Structure 1
Amino acid sequence: MRFPTLLQFPRLFLCLLSVSIIGCGGNPEFATKDTPKAMSATPAAAPATVATFAGIRNAYKISKTSTGFSVKELSGAGTTVNLSGQTSAKFADVTVNLLVGDKSKTIPAASLKTLIELYIAFFNRVPDADGMSYWIDQIKAGVNVDQLSASFYDAAVQFTALTGYSATMSNEQFVRIIYQNVLGRSGATAPPDADVAYWAGELASGKPKGFLVATMLNSAHTFANDPEWGWVPQLLDNKVTVGTFFAIQQGLNYNTSEESISKGMDIAKAVTSTDISLAKTKIGMTDVLFDLTAAISNSEFEKVQSIINAHCLTCHSTQRTEGGIALHTADLIRRNADALYIMTVVTRAMPQDGVLSADEIATISAWYLAGAK
């Protein structure tokens, strides 16, 4: 696969590609300053912002609420913990960045995709959520694609054993690794020597390595539905899908940088041009419907209604309306939210059976303080 026409106007093409991220220009010292963060996750959040749980992630169900998140234990006492100020939930095996889903929406979708593709191109790994959160902030601050690529390359050469990159590698060696990581071409589908020589010559003429990576990423997508090479962009897209699921939708980080790198690579290697199921099996999350990018559902109200149905309808229904308050429909519950909050949360006078748990009281309180919708 050779794309010489893309290189006829190198600076113009790079600028146009950079605009898809954030625009041309930027700080030339960026790559040196931020190199380590390209390969490993950012430092853990301050303890006050991390909620810690003893079990593994699959032992809990995480739900978005109107005030934050709830984390429910799936066995044992089935305890639910409501989180309102925490940014992460740390489990025995992984840490969930609770904010990355919403943060991912603060940059264009194309920028987010390119960022994940850079992880694939330079490390052939799925990104971790904390790393994505950091780089999203950098993009918003004005960093463009050539600066991102330079930082990722500088990080890759520091982990030669894992990435295959080194500071002393030849241009030909660099090109072959990009063909392998970006285009999935190695072994029987490895590029011919003439193609490698062409791209190596572009580097020798002064083209930056970041430019070559960005060009090859862009070029790969032009082969969608091609009879011979259509599997190449499909492989790349599938890796992006898995990376998005892992880092953005599930918000995952392994609890050590070493795990994030090695397991992230193992997951990416399991992706094929036709299948992502093995990669998701390696991720191993059973709460697959959990999605940090999804809007808050009406589940909080449904929880409140369930509590009322269990404890309040004996006295507040069509058959019996104590104090003139009926609660047997959703509209009536919302209409009487003030009284409901005062009697169940403030005075604790209701229900008369007095059996509301601390979690049930917290659920009603969170729903009411969020607007009782």
Structure 2
Amino acid sequence: MALLDIKNLTLYLDGPGETIKALEKVTFTLQEGEIKALVGESGSGKTLVVKAIIGALPEHWRVKADRLTYKGQDLLKMNYEQRRQIMRREIAVVFQEPTSSLDPSVKLGEQIQESIPDEFVTKKWFWERNKQRKEIATGLLHKVGIREHDRWMNSYPYQLPADVSQKIMIAMALASEPRILIADDSTRGMESTTKTQVLKLLLKLNKTKNLSILFVSHDLLAITTIADTITVLYCGQTVESGKVKSLLKRPLHPYTKALLDSVPSFQSALKTKSPLTALSGTIPSLQHLPAGCRLGPRCPNARKKCVQVPIMRSIQGHNYSCHYPLHLPKAGKKDPTDDKFGEQDPIKFNLINPALEEDSADD
């Protein structure tokens, strides 16, 4: 059973005279001990997915899903207190703006100690309990690579550099020894050495504590360093998901390919001082969503059929939502609206395309 199971998550925003779908049929699972990455441009809905999971959306926003479960428990049917208990102990979140999550009027040492569950403090007398809380807090700071614990524990949030703030938020998230850690762009703005330290820390926690991680980021290099699987979001929809190796080697959706092409490190043939590749246009506003495939107006492979909503298909665990996927052989009857592309039956590819079978064996 998946720790976190999300199927067809849809978020409705009721506006004046219309209802907008900020998220539409987002689907993915997070297995025990897995590191899954959510990737997409700003405005693709990554943070909204995180807030829907933890129940931090405004009350007038409506959330619907075929499944939104944690260890088989339906999160949407829980009352506030039940949801709060799970978020307090089982699922921890590190948001992309650490300073906004810290109390500016309280020293960091007090805030870290407050995040430690009472059951972890076993001493009998109050002076012993205070000492134990401080020792646990110090250990948490050391775990995330902060050695000058006295200096930072006696500081206020406004006195911290951005990278130290992020590390302290990670330390506070780990205080309850959660089963799932959701890192919402937790390495943004960090220097490369600090980012490497944080990524190594997350990998170590995943291996030694069997911690499941939902890693939300724009940073494809960081994602490919630590993630096992990737789910790509565009404009509130899941467009592709699968193993990291599979998506890097053969992206099926044009948007995934555009994201990879925008990173010079993935372009081995890119010459020095060559212009960087970028997908034209921007993500459409929620008030003016295109019909059918939401990538249509920006997609270099768009055809007439793209005005219809594509269905999610799967090839050996690699899921995609596109009428004209990349890197697949032509099969079946031709689409009468286009002479270049044909209708493709993903069920047949495992049998007629030996290359896919070979890649699957490699994975």
Q: TM-score, normalized by length of structure 2? A: 0.29
The structure carrying a bigger strand percent of its residues is: 2
> Rg bigger for which structure?
1
